[in-house]
Amino acid sequence: MQNRRAAAATRVQEHLIEVLAPFGDSAVAEGMRYATSGGKRVRALLVMESARLHKVAGERAIWPAAGIEAMHAYSLVHDDLPCMDDDDMRRGQPTVHVKWDEATAVLVGDALQSLAFELVSHPAGAETSTARANLCFDLARAAGGQGMVLGQALDIAAETASSPLTLEEITHLQAGKTGALIEWSATCGAVMAGANADSLRAYAHALGLAFQIQDDVIDVTGSVEAAGKAVGKDAAAGKATFVSLLGLDAAKTRAADLVDQACDALSEYGKDAETLQQIARFVIARKT
């Protein structure tokens, strides 16, 4: 799996560099390149692997794979802004508004969201127009005010709420903030092939929640060096997290159970789904 992940990461990185080449050398273009460098590329790998599972060529799948990484990068650039989470470090590097300025960071995020839709709807991507149109429509819903942005808004509202969130509220928040893009990525291959996406969706639901629980675990147990970003912020801010609500051990157990559920959801695919199952296990093994 690590080989496939490394290969997908390299390929996505090269593809993003290539599509951004005509954007010139303005601060916004440089910021777009900077913000789309590095990262775990989990979402891209989910796209590539769900595509492989449905016999979609890698040279086509690379377009939505790069697109979802552009979308993810936009969300990080805006989340890091002073008026949002106010983070100075990301992936061990200064955040975009620190390296440039706030105006550039707003515009870099805005342009990366547009780029995501450009890549996802690109004629060289999904073979049929129906798939291109559906990928766009699904991504718009996953990213917007009923998906990822809603999750972020609930997260900000929680900081000034009079009482900490309940487990149900945090689960709802995370379903938007992290789960929606994970689900889009994992179902992408089926949508590209015009196939039924139910099993991949069940896999993604469990995986997305496990992913966020593990993020909370890392926030408590991780080091700044390993994570490449600030840790311990949620606990310091008194924010409710899966760890604060469940306890550290129970949170780890819950994440492990969800990973088992995710793997089971793919049983119909047999051995072909091995990499996706390994991705799920990687999610709770990672330290960053």
Q: Which residues contact 268 (CB under 8 A, 6 or more apart)?
A: 199
Given the rule CB under 8 A, which of 20-28, 52-60, 243-251, 263-271 is the region that contacts a copy of itself?
Answer: 20-28
Residue 103 burial by CB count (10 A; 0-12/13-18/19+): exposed, middle or buried? Answer: exposed
Query: What are the φ and ψ backbone dihedral angles of 157, each rounded to 5 degrees?
Result: -60, -35
Residue 37 touching a copy of itself (CB under 8 A)? no
* SS3 category, 140: helix
Nearer to a copy of itself, 28 or 186 (CB): 28
Nearer to a copy of itself, 120 or 240 (CB): 120
Residue 61 touching a copy of itself (CB under 8 A)? no
Query: What are the φ and ψ backbone dihedral angles of 14, each rounded to 5 degrees?
Result: -65, -40
In whole angstroms, how far apart are CA 288 and each of 19, 218, 233, 255? 28, 7, 15, 15
Closest by alpha carbon to 272, among 58, 67, 54, 100?
54
Q: Find the binder of a copy of itself among 117, 171, 221, 278 (CB under 8 A).
A: 117
Nearer to a copy of itself, 102 or 264 (CB): 102
Output the six-digit token pair for 145. Answer: 């005010």
CB of 145 to a copy of itself, least distance (A): 4
Radius of gyration of the chain (CA): 18
Closest by alpha carbon to 192, among 145, 127, 237, 244?
127
Q: How far apart are CA 262 and CA 242, in angstroms?
A: 19
CB of 209 to a copy of itself, least distance (A): 22
Residue 122 touching a copy of itself (CB under 8 A)? yes
CB of 99 to a copy of itself, least distance (A): 15
Residue 140 touching a copy of itself (CB under 8 A)? yes
Q: How far apart are CA 205 and CA 197, in angstroms?
A: 12
Residue 192 touching a copy of itself (CB under 8 A)? no
Residue 143 touching a copy of itself (CB under 8 A)? yes
Contact (Cβ atoms closer than 8 angstroms) between residue 177 and residue 151 = yes
Residue type at position 158: A
Q: Find the binder of a copy of itself among 10, 37, 146, 223 (CB under 8 A).
A: 146
x/- track of binding to a copy of itself for residues 244-263 (CB under 8 A): --------------------
The 3-state DSSP composition of the chain as helix, strand, coil percent (nearest 5) reads: 75, 0, 25
Contact (Cβ atoms closer than 8 angstroms) between residue 84 and residue 91 = no
Q: Find the binder of a copy of itself among 7, 37, 59, 128 (CB under 8 A).
A: 128
CB of 62 to a copy of itself, least distance (A): 16
x/- track of binding to a copy of itself for residues 76-115 (CB under 8 A): --x--x-xx----------------xxxx-xx-xxx-xxx
Given the rule CB under 8 A, which of 36-44, 152-160, 201-209, 229-237 is the region that contacts a copy of itself?
Answer: 152-160
In whole angstroms, how far apart are CA 100 and each of 84, 97, 107? 17, 5, 11
Given the rule CB under 8 A, which of 130-138, 165-173, 213-221, 254-262 is the region that contacts a copy of itself?
Answer: 130-138
Closest by alpha carbon to 218, among 207, 204, 232?
232
| Site of interaction with a copy of itself (CB under 8 A) | 22-23, 26-29, 32, 74, 78, 81, 83-84, 101-104, 106-107, 109-111, 113-118, 120-123, 128-130, 132-134, 136-137, 139-141, 143-147, 149-150, 152-154, 156-157
